[in-house]
């Protein structure tokens, strides 16, 4: 896999330090360790199987060995740490675009960072911060894409899908990884111009599955309903409620459709 990815890689820095494992606990944990040991900006870890894959909000991420892309990218940003969570949305745009280039499927984004196709989840992203002893920080962006999965466990089959199930053909994982790195680099360059999402806001909102739909905001401080009106330049979801517009910060909050996943 490593050789095949390197052959296809056209990015300058993303994925240029590359590690591919048959099995690991979590690629996010691997990148954290590598960053602590001095790995370079853009270090990428891929695994065919994870025994302790992590999802958002403390959930686990289960993936069939060899059928998915489980990868984590390590970033050493120059901008301030409060902006780091926006990289999640930058990666969502990059993965969406990469899927479009490699498979022709035009997906949508469920705020903040799920890639969905016809209402079903194809990809999840988990971003974590790594604080160094010297006050610097780095960011780990973990991406799980359901690529060649043929069948999902019954309990998630109505909310999960794969590129294989949508295209009825296998997708070359190495090509998709290389395209994700190329696209991430391009979106990242546009993000750092203003150090916020103002350059990407329109594009993001154009493919936002929640736009102008009723959503339930699952805030640990209390759930509420509203209508999603798109993201602002810092990636917060603007939700119109009876009490006015509320800006929802991703952190521990999640949104659902009022009647289901989207």
Nearer residue to ligand BTN within complex by CB, 77 or 124: 124
CB–CB of 79/161 below 8 Å? Answer: no
The nearest distance, CB 101 to ligand BTN, in angstroms, is 21
Q: For residue 218, how many other CB atoms are within 10 A of its CB?
A: 15
The nearest distance, CB 198 to ligand BTN, in angstroms, is 26
The nearest distance, CB 193 to ligand BTN, in angstroms, is 27
The nearest distance, CB 71 to ligand BTN, in angstroms, is 6
**Positive or negative CA dihedral for 182, 31, 64, 111?**
negative
Nearer residue to ligand BTN within complex by CB, 92 or 239: 92
Question: Strands 214-218, 254-257: parallel, antiparallel or unpaired by DSSP?
Answer: antiparallel
The values of phi and psi at residue 130, to 5°, are -130, 110
Distance CA 23, CA 135 (A): 32
Nearer residue to ligand BTN within complex by CB, 216 or 229: 216
The nearest distance, CB 68 to ligand BTN, in angstroms, is 8
- Residue from 9, 20, 26, 236 touching ligand BTN (CB under 6 A): that is 26
- Residue from 95, 102, 125, 207 touching ligand BTN (CB under 6 A): that is 125
CB–CB of 95/73 below 8 Å? Answer: no
In the shown chain, the binding pattern of residues 130 to 149 toward ligand BTN, with x for contact by CB under 6 A and - for none, equals ------------xxx-----
Q: Return the residues of window 143-202 that contact ligand BTN according to CB under 6 A.
A: 143-144
CB–CB of 124/165 below 8 Å? Answer: no
Q: Return the residues of window 45-74 that contact ligand BTN according to CB under 6 A.
A: 50, 53-56, 59, 61, 70-72
Nearer residue to ligand BTN within complex by CB, 151 or 156: 156
Give the C-alpha distances (Å, rounded to integers) separating 43 from 104, 140, 235: 28, 9, 25
Residue 135, Cβ density class (10 Å: 0-12 exposed, 13-18 middle, ≥19 buried): exposed
With CB under 6 A as the rule, give the number of residues binding ligand BTN: 20
Distance CA 10, CA 55 (A): 29
- Residue from 5, 11, 20, 27 touching ligand BTN (CB under 6 A): that is 27
Q: Would you tell me which residues interact with ligand BTN (CB under 6 A)?
A: 26-28, 50, 53-56, 59, 61, 70-72, 114, 124-126, 142-144
């Amino acid at each position: 896999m490593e050789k095949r990815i390197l052959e296809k890689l056209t990015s300058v820095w993303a994925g240029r330090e590359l590690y591919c494992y048959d099995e690991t606990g979590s690629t996010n944990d691997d990148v954290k360790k590598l960053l602590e040991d001095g790995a370079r900006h853009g270090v990428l870890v891929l695994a065919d199987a994870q025994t302790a894959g992590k999802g958002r909000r403390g959930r686990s991420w289960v993936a069939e060995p060899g059928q998915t892309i489980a990868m984590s990218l390590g970033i050493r940003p120059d901008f301030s740490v409060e902006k780091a969570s926006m990289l999640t949305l930058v990666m969502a745009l990059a993965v969406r675009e990469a899927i479009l280039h490699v498979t022709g499927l035009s997906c949508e984004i469920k705020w903040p960072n799920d890639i969905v196709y016809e209402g079903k989840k194809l990809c999840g992203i988990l971003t974590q911060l790594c604080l160094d002893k010297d006050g610097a920080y780095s960011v780990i962006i973990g991406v799980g894409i359901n690529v060649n999965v043929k069948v999902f466990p019954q309990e998630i089959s109505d909310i999960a899908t794969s590129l294989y199930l949508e295209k009825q053909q296998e997708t070359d994982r190495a090509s998709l990884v290389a395209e994700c790195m190329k696209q991430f680099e391009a979106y990242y360059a546009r993000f750092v111009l203003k150090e916020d999402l103002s350059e990407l806001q329109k594009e993001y909102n154009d493919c936002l599955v929640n736009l102008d739909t009723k959503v339930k905001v699952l805030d640990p401080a209390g759930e509420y309903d509203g209508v999603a009106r798109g993201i602002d330049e810092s990636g917060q979801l603007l939700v119109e409620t009876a009490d006015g517009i509320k800006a929802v910060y991703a952190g521990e909050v999640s949104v659902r459709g009022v009647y289901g996943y989207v």
